[in-house]
Structure 1
Amino acid sequence: MPSFRKVAFVAVSLAYPLLMYAAMGRFEPRWLSLLLFALAVLRALGSREAVWMWAAAGTGLLAAVALLGNQALPLKLYPALVNAVLLAVFLASLRWPPSMAERFARMQEPQLPPFAIVYTRRVTQVWCGFFVINGGLALATALWASDATWALYNGLLAYLLMGVLHAVEWTVRRRVKAAHGHG
């Protein structure tokens, strides 16, 4: 069972765009940047995984720019950074297998049949495409949209799109398994 600290961290991380939107205009961006960086460092130290260390470094760069310039834009770029990090991780898993989707699949079924390995590779490629599109939209909303539109997309719509993609993949996976006699 996950600890309260982990659950709280995930909840705050997911709610980041909405929390930022609520805080904008009430607090200077420089103070919000310190909070963002603290969250990233806590996540990195809590996991000790290289990907989160790199994410914390990128977050530190955004926070430093926000701190020095007292501007909100670097803080609004955080969702685009997260998508870029996830894209890099998923792409790396395609270059150096097993693919990310295969790693997740093996948590449930350690002995995957060959068709499943091919399928999970394709799923990883689809997620890479998602991270490109979602990251592009996160970047576009940070650069050109209102704060409310940025918060709506990055704090709600992006998660709904992830859910839809996951639901579609789950449906396709069941059909692929059934077609191969694994149902």
Structure 2
Amino acid sequence: MPVLLLAYPVLVHLAVLWGAPRLEWLALVVMCAIPLYQGLRALRPGHWLSLLALAGLLHVLTRMGGGMYALFVPPVVTPAAVLAVFAGSLRAGQVPVATRLAQLSRDTLEPEVLVYTRRVTALWALILAGIAVGNAALALFAPLPVWSLFSNFVNYLLVGLVFVLEYLYRRLRFPAHVHGGFLAHLRLVARTDYKAV
């Protein structure tokens, strides 16, 4: 799956720079393969047939000139969907996403940590909202190369930067807590079942 996740933004950006409908189509097929990855890897016929059917439909779409319009959708819908998870977890009676992650690494959380993790969840919700709105605005008003640069590269760098800075700040803010290291933290985030949040 990492190859697909890395290939998608590169294919989209090249499709924009070169004005290549075939690359638009390939990027869309790669995007569809990402959620089907586990089934494709396990050679499940249904997953492969689904991907082939989607590839056929996407071929027609790109031949009709709609490929680029379809590529505008994921940079808005994906952060908006993750935003819904983060913002939904801030409702009364729910456990904020960052709190759930913290609970996975230690048994009990002090009140100040609970407040902090709630604020971190709110911070991520704001960042995701900004990314979704920014990508929509760029799709509507910016030149295609500018939209592509931000939606396929700059936004990922921003998310990575915030992730690293928050981790470093947390180590300074709560030095008494056991921190398993940045890679251990990444593994924890990757293994978390966000459907349960």
Q: TM-score, normalised by structure 1?
A: 0.70
Counterpart Cα distance in 1 of 2:70 and 2:134: 15
- Decide which moves more: 86-95 or 31-40: 31-40
Using a 3 Å threshold, how does the CA distance of structure 1 residues 67 and 41 change in structure 2: closer, same or farther? farther
Amino acid at match of 1:131: L
Using a 3 Å threshold, how does the CA distance of structure 1 residues 101 and 146 change in structure 2: closer, same or farther? same
Kept in 2, the 8 Å contact 1:99–1:121? The answer is: yes
Amino acid at match of 1:35: V
Shift of 1:34: 5.1
Kept in 1, the 8 Å contact 2:24–2:71? The answer is: no
Report the equivalent of 2:72.
Answer: 76
Q: How many residues align?
A: 157
Using a 3 Å threshold, how does the CA distance of structure 1 residues 34 and 21 change in structure 2: closer, same or farther? closer
Alignment of 1:72-111 (within 5 A): 72-95=68-91, 96-111=93-108
Shift of 1:141: 1.7
Kept in 1, the 8 Å contact 2:96–2:121? The answer is: yes
Counterpart Cα distance in 2 of 1:123 and 1:164: 14
Identify the match of residue 26 of structure 1 among 20, 23, 29: 20
Identify the match of residue 33 of structure 2 among 39, 42, 49: 39
Report the equivalent of 2:5.
Answer: 10
Amino acid at match of 1:18: V
Kept in 2, the 8 Å contact 1:30–1:70? The answer is: no
Shift of 1:37: 5.5
Q: TM-score, normalised by structure 2?
A: 0.66
Cα deviation digits, residues 27-63 of structure 1 (max 9, x gap): 25883475156225415968xxxxxxxxxxxxx9xx8
Q: Runs of 4+ in structure 1 displaced over 4 angstroms?
A: 43-46
Kept in 2, the 8 Å contact 1:80–1:135? The answer is: yes
Structure 1: give runs of 5+ residues left out of the alignment: 1-5, 47-59
Shift of 1:139: 1.1
Identify the match of residue 157 of structure 1 among 146, 154, 166: 154
Using a 3 Å threshold, how does the CA distance of structure 1 residues 29 and 8 change in structure 2: closer, same or farther? closer
Counterpart Cα distance in 1 of 2:122 and 2:32: 32
Amino acid at match of 1:170: Y
Report the equivalent of 1:138.
Answer: 135
Using a 3 Å threshold, how does the CA distance of structure 1 residues 75 and 44 change in structure 2: closer, same or farther? farther
Cα deviation digits, residues 39-94 of structure 1 (max 9, x gap): 25415968xxxxxxxxxxxxx9xx87x92853212312211111100100101111
Q: Secondary structure at the match of 1:94?
A: coil
Shift of 1:98: 1.6
Q: Secondary structure at the match of 1:163?
A: helix
Amino acid at match of 2:108: Q
Structure 2: give runs of 5+ residues left out of the alignment: 41-53, 179-197
- Decide which moves more: 165-174 or 66-75: 66-75
